[in-house]
Amino acid sequence: VDIRVSKPFILLANCEVYYDGRAKSSLVPGDYLIIRKGDGTLLIHGGSKFNPLNYQPSGAILRKEGNKLISTRKRETITIIIHSIMWYREPVEWSENKIEISRTEYDLKLQIIRDIKELTGDRTIKEVTPEFKTPYGPIDVVAITETNLFHIIEVKRGKSTLSSCAQLERYLNYFKEINTPTKGWLMSPDISKGAVQYAANRSIEWRKVLFEV
């Protein structure tokens, strides 16, 4: 079988793989599934687990040297030494459509902005800004009251964790530096125990928010 590096292909081969770049890895000889897409993406999958064993994201360039396949991208290199080919296929058509997805953090954010006064219990809110920019990163939602109190809201689509608390606190620190009074909020469907503890110690409040759809 002749592998064409100019075409997308799907290949099951007995091979070994070496990677060098940000990290360095080697994969002992075995039968693996090798996928090469039109945009340069290279995936080497083993017989279990979600993640490919080795890979290169879109933009990689593939070449052939004897029984070696070499893929390079931004100073990273994958070398596949092929011992034998079980089968090889070039898809005639391979669609590039995207999925349409809902129940993302963005959707939850819209709900929160709509219900902001009920959720915070603050009827004096006069302005709500999503993606509020600060030098310490963009804040999911900022709601400003008539008396210029800033509600700083971090939204999570899943569980709020210690890491969410730290993220929120980082934003709060910015407003502390510019002497602006704030109230910090976590809003999400769930929260971890550690986050509850941490939030309590720093007067951060959590509001449970569920997806409506």
Partner DNA sequence: AGTTCAGTGATGCGT
Partner DNA sequence: ACGCATCGCTGAACT
Residues lying near DNA in the complex (CB under 7 A) are found at: 19, 21-23, 25, 41, 49-51, 54-58, 73, 76, 78, 98-99, 101, 104-106, 131, 133, 136-138, 140, 154-159, 161-163, 167, 170, 192-195
Compare residues 120 and 167 and give the one whose CB is closer to DNA.
167
In contact, 82 and 34? CB cutoff 8 Å: no
CB of 95 to a second copy, least distance (A): 3
Cα–Cα distance between 168 and 185 in angstroms, integer? 8
Q: Residue 83 is which amino acid?
A: H
Binding partner of residue 106 among a second copy, DNA, none, CB cut-off 5 to 8 Å per kind? DNA
Compare residues 54 and 120 and give the one whose CB is closer to DNA.
54
Site for a second copy, rule CB under 8 A:
8, 10, 12, 17, 19, 22-28, 30-33, 35, 37-39, 41, 43, 45-50, 53-55, 57-58, 86-87, 89, 91-104, 135-137, 157-158, 162-163, 165-167, 169-170, 173, 177, 194, 197-198, 201-202, 213
CB of 149 to DNA, least distance (A): 22
In contact, 10 and 91? CB cutoff 8 Å: yes
Cα–Cα distance between 122 and 41 in angstroms, integer? 50
Cα–Cα distance between 185 and 203 in angstroms, integer? 9
In contact, 99 and 78? CB cutoff 8 Å: no
In contact, 42 and 58? CB cutoff 8 Å: no
